[in-house]
């Protein structure tokens, strides 16, 4: 008897034994031995394994008859099992194809495992970053803003942080388990692991509900009402404002022209440039105010920062950088006057600007006895 025949016989007997699991062990053992003897007898007559299988009834039919004979009702329904009968040529072909498929599966499994490991690492780093950065951002927010002003936003951010942290943790965990499953097919099938997974899933669901509620409450209370941190921005009624700062620019303009004021005409343009560098989120509103003195700019800051912090935003002239540039190539623009300003901000406002600071700018220019209409304010 060759190994191939022995393997087929043992497989058939094992399947029959499983089908007879409802019988007593002694009865099942006797039946299996009887069928083993039958196989050996048939093999002694030089019959092939395929011929023997063709002469036997289906295993399900044999099992049913034996259960009826022993008057046993089987409690669980087993799956129908079939033994495929092949000849030597088809078996060799099948084995060759199977080896190729296994090779592709191994390559794909290895590639996917490497990608899953990288994704797991990236998602885990994102999870850790959220856990670390959100508390830091909240601390800076409470430094820059009044406690009651930023509290609703902090609640919303913490809620969003919880959801994002769970999301990246889930992605990281899924990638990790994928790798484990590829290298160990039995990983994650123990009852203990499933129980832990159920507990963790329920805990995450509860945290997502809590995080979503916090995010919703934070979003509403941060945007509704003129006294909320973003509601005040949307309505234009900022919570704090500075005193009006006035800049008289006659001397700066005189130095910029350097005796060439006569080149300025009604078609000339004045650019008021604010170099705000690393200052935070900034918006501005500029308008002409003829109640101001000639060549005067008035600036008022509106902000939601703490009042003491907002007053640390400093605006200074840069007369050395201001200059006049004559344009001889255009009849619509005879020249341009550039007036330069610099805005500096405190360090903590640079790192966390969650609301804008608004500059309300009023100006009035008259150069070479010519009222200036073409004025452009740039940040």
Residue 90 lies in a domain: no
Cβ–Cβ < 8 Å for 159, 210: yes
Which stretch of DSSP H or E encloses residue 179? helix 147-183
Domain boundary residue, one of 223, 246, 279: 223
Rounded percentage of the chain residues whose pLDDT exceeds 70: 80
Q: What's the rounded Cα separation, in Å, for the pair 229 and 309?
A: 16
Torsions phi, psi of 281, nearest 5?
A: -45, 120
User: Residue 92's pLDDT is what?
Assistant: 45
In a domain, 367, yes or no: yes
Same domain, 244 and 374: yes
Are 136 and 77 in a shared domain? no
CB atoms within 10 A of CB 83: 15
Domain that holds residue 12: 3-85
CA dist 303 and 356 (Å) reads 7
Q: State mean pLDDT over 214-224.
A: 89
**Residue 316 sits in the same domain as residue 194:** no
Q: How far is CA 185 from CA 177, 178, 179, 239, in A?
A: 11, 10, 10, 61
Q: How far apart are CA 357 and CA 274, in angstroms?
A: 14
Cα 140-141-146 angle, rounded to 5 deg:
125
Which segments of the chain does DSSP mark as H helices, in order? 3-19, 25-44, 49-55, 59-69, 88-144, 147-183, 191-223, 231-235, 250-257, 307-310, 347-351
β-partners of residue 248 are 296
Q: Are residues 198 and 299 in the same domain?
A: no
Residues 246 and 294 occupy one common structural domain: yes
Model confidence pLDDT, tens digit, residues 151-182: 888 888 888 888 888 887 777 777 667 666 66
Name the average pLDDT for the chain. 80
pLDDT mean over 335-357: 82
Structural domains in the chain (count): 3
Give the residue from 77, 66, 62 showing the smallest Cα distance to 12.
Answer: 62
Per-residue pLDDT band for 309 (boundaries 50, 70, 90) equals: confident
Domain-ending residue, one of 195, 223, 251: 223
> Which of 179, 196, 223 is the C-terminal boundary of a domain?
223
How many beta carbons lie within 10 A of that of residue 115, not counting itself?
13
Q: Is the pLDDT of residue 262 over 70?
A: yes
pLDDT at 188: 44
**Cα 206–chain centre separation:** 20
Task: Specify whether 248 is located in the same domain as 350.
Answer: yes
Rounded to an integer, the average pLDDT of 254-262 is 89
Same domain, residue pair 217 and 248? no
The secondary structure of 95-163 as a DSSP string is HHHHHHHHHHHHHHHHHHHHHHHHHHHHHHHHHHHHHHHHHHHHHHHHHHS-HHHHHHHHHHHHHHHHH
Rounded Cα distance, 202 and 92, in Å: 51
| Alpha carbons 79 and 174: distance in angstroms, whole number | 31
Residue 95 lies in a domain: no
Q: Is residue 336 part of a domain?
A: yes
Residues 342 and 366 in one domain: yes
Please give the average per-residue pLDDT across 27-34, as a whole number. Answer: 90
pLDDT tens, residue by residue, 73-115: 544 444 444 444 444 444 444 555 556 556 666 666 667 667 7
Q: 97 in a domain, yes or no?
A: no
């Amino acid at each position: 008897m060759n190994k191939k025949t022995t393997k087929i016989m043992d497989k058939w007997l094992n399947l029959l034994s499983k089908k007879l699991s409802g019988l007593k062990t002694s009865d099942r053992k006797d039946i299996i031995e009887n069928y083993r003897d039958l196989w050996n007898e048939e093999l002694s007559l030089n019959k092939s394994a395929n011929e023997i299988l063709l002469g036997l009834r289906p295993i399900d039919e044999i099992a049913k008859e034996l259960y009826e004979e022993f008057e046993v009702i089987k409690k669980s329904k087993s799956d129908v099992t079939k033994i495929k009968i092949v000849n030597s040529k088809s078996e060799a072909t099948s084995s060759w194809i199977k080896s190729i498929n296994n090779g592709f599966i191994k390559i794909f499994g290895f590639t996917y495992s490497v990608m899953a490991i990288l994704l797991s690492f990236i998602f885990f780093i994102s999870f850790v970053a959220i856990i670390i950065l959100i508390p830091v951002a909240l601390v800076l927010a409470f430094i820059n803003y009044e406690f009651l002003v930023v509290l609703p936003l902090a609640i919303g951010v913490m809620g969003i942080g919880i959801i994002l942290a769970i999301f990246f943790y889930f992605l990281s965990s899924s990638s990790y388990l994928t790798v484990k499953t590829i290298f160990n097919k039995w990983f994650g099938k123990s009852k203990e692991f499933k129980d832990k997974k159920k507990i963790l899933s329920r805990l995450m669901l509860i945290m997502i509900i809590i995080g979503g509620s916090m995010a919703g409450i934070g979003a509403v209370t941060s945007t509704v009402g003129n006294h909320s941190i973003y509601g005040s921005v949307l309505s234009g009624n900022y919570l704090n404002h500075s005193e009006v700062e006035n800049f008289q620019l006659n001397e700066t303009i005189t130095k910029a022209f350097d005796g060439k004021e006569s080149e300025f005409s009604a078609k000339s343009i004045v650019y008021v440039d604010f170099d705000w560098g690393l200052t935070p989120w900034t918006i501005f509103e500029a308008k002409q105010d003829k109640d101001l003195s000639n060549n005067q700019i008035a600036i008022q800051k509106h902000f939601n920062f703490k009042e003491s912090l907002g007053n640390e935003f400093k605006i200074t002239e840069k007369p050395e950088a201001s200059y006049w540039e004559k344009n001889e190539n255009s009849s619509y623009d005879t020249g341009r006057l550039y007036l330069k300003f610099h805005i500096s901000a405190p360090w903590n406002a640079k790192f966390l600007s969650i609301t804008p600071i608004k500059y309300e700018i009023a100006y009035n220019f008259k150069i070479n006895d010519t009222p200036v209409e073409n004025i452009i304010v740039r940040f």
